[in-house]
Chains A and B, each alone.
Chain A
Amino acid sequence: MLFPTTSSRQTPPRVVITGAGIVTALGLGWKPNAEGFRTGRTAFRPVSLFDVSRLRAKHAAEVDLPATLPPTRLSAKQSARLDRAASLLLLATDEAWQQSGWEPAENLPLVLGTTAGGMSLGESYFRQAVQRPDHRRHQATRAVYYQPQVQARMILAALGSNGPITIVSNACASGSNAIGHAWELIRFGQTDRVLAGGYDALSELVFVGFDALQALSTTICRPFDAHRDGLALGEGAAVVALETLESARRRGADILGELVGYGTSIDQHHLTQPHPQGSTTLMVMKQACETAGITPENVDYINAHGTGTVLNDSSEALAISEWAGRRAATLPVSSTKANIGHLLGAAGAVEAVVCLMTLREQWLPPEKLFETPDPACKFPIVQKPRDARLNVVLSNSFGFGGVNASLILRRCV
């Protein structure tokens, strides 16, 4: 029962990550992404998925999808119904699943964050309904598979599993919120393991929307740079396998990292603009630290939300500077959106996996095109590839609508 709960745990269990899958424009899977983030490679190119000739911005970080998806329990007909977003999600899930070593189960919770779900199917539906109103072919299928909960069911089916599905849609904080929610489900005693993550594919509606807002960079995406002029969009997915430390140890699983802190709240300042002083950002970072039982002194790296927009980065920089206090002067910060763009509903999950990479492999992801720090930055931006001793890292994600989230991950040795 979801209510009343039957948990008898006195103290929340420790929650670890035993599988991680990632798909971005840097590549499919952990290895090419780790190499890309470690060296600071950027993955932007002219948009090929739709016409951008009438728009200000022309570039994005598109994923090269493989010709065939990995073999799963989906039939050929089912696989053919996966749109671009669901394909990204399947690739990331398959990697996390293989790495975790989990067996198919009838009660495997899946928590996903997305902003657009199967938007490409929705766009196709709309175009056909408007341009060929008497033509009904494929419309019923599009109307069903457009919905993120149906895509999530397909993913569970691909794994030969079933279980409760939760879809979180808090805009660009969705991926972090999904992982945070999964973490709470385990700590609250509702389950011992959860698959969680985020996904979003590039879509015409969203690209045009950010272009209309003049939020897209027409040069290069340079988070926290004084001369930044906007964000760049990307696409991708990331999924993590979360379970109790006890369960992971019992199985002898390879532990990639521990999720130790989570904070979330809502900024009521504006639908699309953060509070200029970053007050909610500050709050969620403090919350995450409280739940983790640490202070800023313990944090070795921040993977910032860092979109590259003027308003976000100055607000976040103020919040990080205030939160970190004296620690700020030596606290390395970077935004991997400089490499792969803003992945919207996938961003928080992808960046959580990047944090796992940094903990696992002990390096810092640089922003190689960063030049001049914003005056609000009291912290150093990682500009060159370098190794580092990392034990605790923090990831920020903020969304349209104002939901903010911070995750804290710790190395497991």
Chain B
Amino acid sequence: MSRIFVAGLGAVSPAGWNVAALRGALDKGEPLPTQLLERPGWNKPFSVRLVPNPAVRPEFLAHPRLRRTSPITHYVVATALEATATVCATRIAQFRLGLVVCLQSGCVNYSCRFYDETLKDPATASPLVFPETVYAAPASHLAAVLENVSLASTLVGDPAAFLQGVSLGAQWLEENRVDACLVIGAEETNWILADALWHLERSAILTAGAGALCLCRDSKLSAGVELAAITDGHTYSTQNGRSQAARAMRRQLGAPASCRPKPSQGNEDLAGKMPALPELLCDGVGNNPRAAAPELDAWRDWTGPRICPKRILGEGLMAAAAWQCVAACDAVAGGRFAAANISLVGSNQQAMGARFVRADSHISHLSLGHPTGNIRS
């Protein structure tokens, strides 16, 4: 088994166009201001959190492939460039880069626009718009911008599917099919999506953006974070509801209830050397008590530090899942935590969890009971 490291992070969110803005908003801990989004035929607009316009027009928008693209592609490209900045600065030209883009709603802006044109007069519907409606469009454009993507896939699912994407990227790295792999979760906002969310979860505030992890095998490229675990996908069914799936995820992840690493067999010597940093829980709990109940119940014994990005940023669907991972990795990379646990209890597919640790610590291997042969002291 290879060790998988996080080489870089990227984020576009209602807080701004980089990870620093995301970090700043989460550190501040106050819900971001909302904006109004008109809905045709209704007097009352939706309350949403829009991605602000970037302070300076991003240079990448000059790329010929991005001329007609919708916001979701802009978010994907911006996060990818941020996440690969370190790798690019070193040796990306020789790299085989993998790309996994995860979406729940995907390219809704152009889909709505094209279908609206179709209903008005199909004979004049724009051929330029249609190709941008497919789920695979953002990955395609990003591959063209980066130029060295050798393997790419777009996964669709509920937000927990972002961790399926991370797992796929790790698999490609383990099989030595790529040298680094970008895993991106992204969404864009429009009125039809806000409308659908209103039907399903009225207290949710829709938002958009993207988050990216750049994974690698080479420890020298590590940003100080290592992937330690990804649980199975605990799929919902009649017999296995969200609550049961969330609890199963929690059991499998095995994150300790206590916030501090405990010495266990084999790491007594390390316990003395290791800074007693706490562990973080980064969950997907939003403002709807009913929707959040299964996840809160699964983690009810958690006494350590916890962040809930959705409460600050809003419901970003797959982007929100990516922000959870980005925020968690950023917190670990910043030296504030020894490890971070990700809890993703998706809306209609599955519950999944993950664990990232400091690349110079050994908590993951010890607490998960894995072989300790590759521990560095």
Chain A interface residues toward B at CB < 8 A = 1-5, 51-52, 54-55, 114-115, 117, 122-123, 125-127, 129-130, 133-134, 136, 139-140, 143-144, 147-150, 153, 156-157, 162-171, 177, 181, 184, 188, 204-205, 208-214, 264-266, 268, 271-272, 399-403
Contact yes or no, A164 B114, CB < 8 A: no
User: What residue of chain A has the Cβ atom nearest to residue B118's Cβ?
Assistant: A208
Contact yes or no, A401 B239, CB < 8 A: no
Q: Is B60 an interface residue (CB 8 A)?
A: no
Contact yes or no, A134 B153, CB < 8 A: no
Task: State A127–B158 Cα separation when bound (angstroms).
Answer: 24
Contact yes or no, A177 B196, CB < 8 A: no
Interface size class of chain B, counting residues whose CB lies under 8 Å from the partner chain: 35 or more
Contact yes or no, A1 B192, CB < 8 A: no
Task: State A271–B66 Cα separation when bound (angstroms).
Answer: 11
Most A Cβ at <10 Å: residue of B168, B174, B235: B235
User: What residue of chain B has the Cβ atom nearest to residue A212's Cβ?
Assistant: B127
Contact yes or no, A156 B235, CB < 8 A: yes
Contact yes or no, A3 B200, CB < 8 A: no
Task: State A171–B101 Cα separation when bound (angstroms).
Answer: 13
User: What residue of chain A has the Cβ atom nearest to residue B140's Cβ?
Assistant: A401
Q: Is B229 an interface residue (CB 8 A)?
A: yes
Chain A proximity mask over B7-34: 1 for CB below 8 Å, otherwise 0 = 0000000000000000000000000000
User: What residue of chain B has the Cβ atom nearest to residue A210's Cβ?
Assistant: B130
Contact yes or no, B125 A209, CB < 8 A: yes
- Closest beta carbon of chain A to B16's beta carbon, Å: 28
Q: Which residues of B contact A164 (CB under 8 A)?
A: 164, 232-233, 235, 350
Task: State A303–B166 Cα separation when bound (angstroms).
Answer: 33
Q: Which residues of B contact A148 (CB under 8 A)?
A: 156-157
Q: Which residues of B contact A156 (CB under 8 A)?
A: 235, 237
User: What residue of chain A has the Cβ atom nearest to residue B365's Cβ?
Assistant: A4
Task: State A114–B156 Cα separation when bound (angstroms).
Answer: 9
Could you name 9 residue pairs across A and B whose Cβ atoms are closer than 8 Å? Answer: A3-B230, A149-B156, A153-B236, A204-B118, A212-B126, A266-B143, A266-B152, A401-B136, A401-B140
Task: State A322–B136 Cα separation when bound (angstroms).
Answer: 28
Contact yes or no, A168 B130, CB < 8 A: no
Stretch of B35-43, B217-225, B293-301, B305-313 with 4 or more beta carbons under 8 angstroms from chain A = B35-43
Q: Is B141 an interface residue (CB 8 A)?
A: yes
Task: State A24–B116 Cα separation when bound (angstroms).
Answer: 29
User: What residue of chain B has the Cβ atom nearest to residue A75's Cβ?
Assistant: B238
Q: Which residues of A contact B144 (CB under 8 A)?
A: 268
Asked, given contacts A165-B350, A212-B125, whether A4 binds B143 with beta carbons under 8 Å apart, the answer is no
User: What residue of chain A has the Cβ atom nearest to residue B158's Cβ?
Assistant: A149
Q: Is B139 an interface residue (CB 8 A)?
A: yes
Most A Cβ at <10 Å: residue of B141, B156, B227: B156
Contact yes or no, B65 A271, CB < 8 A: yes
Contact yes or no, B167 A3, CB < 8 A: yes
Asked, given contacts A129-B192, A401-B134, whether A166 binds B122 with beta carbons under 8 Å apart, the answer is no
- Closest beta carbon of chain B to A49's beta carbon, Å: 14
User: What residue of chain B has the Cβ atom nearest to residue A150's Cβ?
Assistant: B348
Given A126-B192, A134-B41, A169-B135, 12 further pairs, Cβ under 8 A: A54-B121, A162-B239, A167-B156, A177-B153, A181-B153, A208-B122, A209-B127, A268-B144, A268-B149, A272-B131, A400-B131, A401-B134
Q: Which residues of B contact A205 (CB under 8 A)?
A: 111, 114-115, 118, 133
Task: State A117–B171 Cα separation when bound (angstroms).
Answer: 26
Asked, given contacts A156-B235, A162-B240, A268-B147, whether A2 binds B140 with beta carbons under 8 Å apart, the answer is no
Task: State A149–B121 Cα separation when bound (angstroms).
Answer: 32
Contact yes or no, B131 A266, CB < 8 A: no
- Closest beta carbon of chain A to B65's beta carbon, Å: 7
Chain A proximity mask over B62-80: 1 for CB below 8 Å, otherwise 0 = 0001000000000000000
The 3 closest A-B pairs by CB, nearest first: A133-B41, A401-B136, A401-B140
Q: Which residues of B contact A266 (CB under 8 A)?
A: 99, 139-140, 143, 149-152
Q: Which residues of B contact A204 (CB under 8 A)?
A: 115, 118, 122
Q: Which residues of B contact A169 (CB under 8 A)?
A: 103, 134-136, 154-156
- Closest beta carbon of chain A to B45's beta carbon, Å: 13
Q: Which residues of A contact B137 (CB under 8 A)?
A: 271, 400-401
Contact yes or no, A143 B175, CB < 8 A: no
Q: Which residues of B contact A5 (CB under 8 A)?
A: 1, 171, 174
Contact yes or no, A213 B112, CB < 8 A: no
Q: Which residues of A contact B115 (CB under 8 A)?
A: 123, 126, 204-205
- Closest beta carbon of chain A to B328's beta carbon, Å: 15
Contact yes or no, A184 B122, CB < 8 A: no
Which of B1, B123, B233, B348 meets A144, CB within 8 Å? Answer: B348
Contact yes or no, A165 B229, CB < 8 A: no
Asked, given contacts A163-B235, A204-B118, whether A188 binds B370 with beta carbons under 8 Å apart, the answer is no
Contact yes or no, B164 A2, CB < 8 A: yes
Q: Is B290 an interface residue (CB 8 A)?
A: no
Contact yes or no, B170 A403, CB < 8 A: no
Asked, given contacts A5-B1, A156-B237, A401-B140, whether A209 binds B164 with beta carbons under 8 Å apart, the answer is no
- Closest beta carbon of chain A to B192's beta carbon, Å: 6
- Closest beta carbon of chain A to B372's beta carbon, Å: 13
Contact yes or no, B175 A188, CB < 8 A: yes
Q: Which residues of A contact B230 (CB under 8 A)?
A: 1-3
Q: Is B231 an interface residue (CB 8 A)?
A: yes
User: What residue of chain A has the Cβ atom nearest to residue B195's Cβ?
Assistant: A129
Q: Is B181 an interface residue (CB 8 A)?
A: no
User: What residue of chain B has the Cβ atom nearest to residue A400's Cβ?
Assistant: B134
Q: Which residues of A contact B122 (CB under 8 A)?
A: 51-52, 54-55, 204, 208, 211-212
